[in-house]
């Protein structure tokens, strides 16, 4: 098959990012967050690239079992906890750590009749208000479960509602949680990527590292944050030029004719569109790199085609590869900003659409 799209994952960059996070949070365990198929990078691609990680964080049992089947024996945190007693038994058998965030889950734990050990994190609600207990419910929950045989409470967990917004204070987002820590003297896990970078006080004993691990900017679009400079893009997305056309001044290109040439110009047609995972909302001016030169998208993205300005790159020709993102010079964040979406929203599902090339896989041995 003639491929017009290429997805590659740089595992050296992945390991570099993980090691960098570890130096930033030296006292904590750092768990790569692998939900949504590792943010679209592929669960086992990422876990395999980080075979020596302190542990992994997933949402559901199925992901944890996939990791165990692949031979990953380190701690695994199930951030959504278990859905029923069968899952609870499996979590015990596989030595998973489970989050407890609902009354039903507390009841399941209380009904346990086995002696098998089970590590528990009790989730406390933040203003995201999705899951977890109100701070004033936590002592009851702890009392209800800590006498159960086998159960060991590893700590209290919370998730910041807006650590990604540097204009807002972090402090007040976890005032209640800190009061609870002072009262219970339990270890805690609070930090996602943004909180880890902002405040070492949030690290606790377990950092849950998502976006930054993959080299994405964890802050709201457009935020420059120096600490991110050291993190490298893991996923690279490229497309081939499948045709070139010359537009005369006044001619439109693409559906809807939103772009009209103001002079004669050479345009490249890429064999990739929103059907292949490029964001359909990317607008004229979204950067791409052709032959090492930054140029731009023209007009609307089609299902299987993107039009790019080849005026700055006269040497570009059919079959050349174009970087759509994942170069140190063109991060996905920039594309996401032009498309008005989060970078992760673009990445999710990508490796399910395309074959993935792993770079640096051979360097795993002895790592």
Ligand X SMILES: *Cc1c(COP(=O)(O)O)cnc(C)c1O
Closest residue to ligand X, judged by C-beta, is 210
The smaller minimum CB distance to ligand X, of residues 59 and 283, is found at 59
Classify strands 235-247 and 5-10 as parallel, antiparallel or unpaired: antiparallel
User: Is the Cα dihedral 11, 17, 20, 25 positive or negative?
Assistant: negative
Closest CA to 294 of 267, 278, 320, 313: 313
The smaller minimum CB distance to ligand X, of residues 33 and 313, is found at 33
User: Is the Cα dihedral 164, 167, 168, 170 positive or negative?
Assistant: positive
Interface with ligand X by CB under 6 A: which residues? 33, 35, 79, 159, 192-194, 208-211, 218
d(C-alpha 327, C-alpha 332), whole Å: 8
The smaller minimum CB distance to ligand X, of residues 209 and 310, is found at 209
List the catalytic residues: 35, 255
d(C-alpha 56, C-alpha 75), whole Å: 7
The smaller minimum CB distance to ligand X, of residues 115 and 226, is found at 226
State the minimum distance, in angstroms, from the CB of residue 248 to ligand X.
47
State the minimum distance, in angstroms, from the CB of residue 304 to ligand X.
30
Per the CB < 8 A criterion, the answer to whether 291 and 238 are in contact is no
DSSP codes joined into one string, 287-302: EEEETTEEEEEES---
State the minimum distance, in angstroms, from the CB of residue 299 to ligand X.
32
State the chain's maximal CA–CA distance in angstroms.
78
State the minimum distance, in angstroms, from the CB of residue 20 to ligand X.
14
């Amino acid at each position: 098959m003639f491929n017009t799209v290429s997805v590659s994952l740089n595992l050296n960059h992945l390991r570099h990012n993980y090691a960098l996070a570890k130096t930033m949070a030296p006292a904590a365990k750092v768990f790569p967050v692998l939900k949504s198929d590792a943010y679209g990078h592929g669960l086992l691609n990422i876990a395999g690239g980080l075979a020596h990680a302190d542990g992994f964080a997933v949402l559901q049992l199925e992901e944890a079992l996939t990791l165990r089947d692949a031979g990953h024996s380190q701690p695994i945190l199930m951030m959504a906890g278990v859905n029923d007693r069968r899952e609870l038994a499996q979590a015990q058998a596989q030595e998973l750590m489970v989050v407890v965030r609902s009354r039903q889950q507390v009841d399941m734990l209380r009904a346990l009749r086995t002696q098998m050990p089970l590590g528990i994190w009790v989730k406390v609600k933040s203003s995201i208000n999705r899951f977890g207990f109100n701070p004033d419910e936590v002592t009851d929950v702890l009392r209800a479960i800590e006498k159960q045989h086998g159960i060991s409470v590893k700590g209290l967990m919370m998730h910041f509602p807006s650590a990604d917004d540097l204009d807002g204070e972090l402090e007040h987002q976890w005032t209640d949680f800190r009061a609870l820590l002072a009262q219970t003297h339990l270890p805690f896990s609070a930090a996602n990527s943004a909180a880890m970078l902002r405040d070492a006080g949030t690290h606790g004993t377990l950092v849950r590292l998502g976006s930054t691990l993959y080299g994405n900017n964890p802050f709201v679009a457009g935020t420059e944050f120096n600490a991110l400079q050291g993190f490298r893009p893991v996923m690279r997305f490229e497309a081939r030029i499948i045709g070139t056309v010359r537009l005369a001044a006044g001619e439109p290109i693409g559906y809807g004719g939103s772009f009209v040439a103001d002079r004669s110009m050479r345009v490249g047609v890429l064999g990739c569109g929103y059907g292949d995972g490029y964001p359909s909302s990317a607008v004229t001016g979204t950067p791409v790199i052709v032959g090492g030169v930054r140029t731009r998208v023209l007009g609307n993205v089609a299902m299987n085609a993107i039009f790019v300005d080849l005026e700055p790159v006269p040497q570009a020709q059919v079959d050349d590869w174009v970087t759509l993102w994942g170069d140190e010079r063109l991060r996905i964040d920039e594309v996401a900003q032009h498309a008005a979406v989060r970078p992760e929203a673009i990445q999710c599902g990508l490796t399910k659409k395309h074959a993935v090339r792993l770079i640096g896989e051979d360097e795993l041995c002895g790592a």
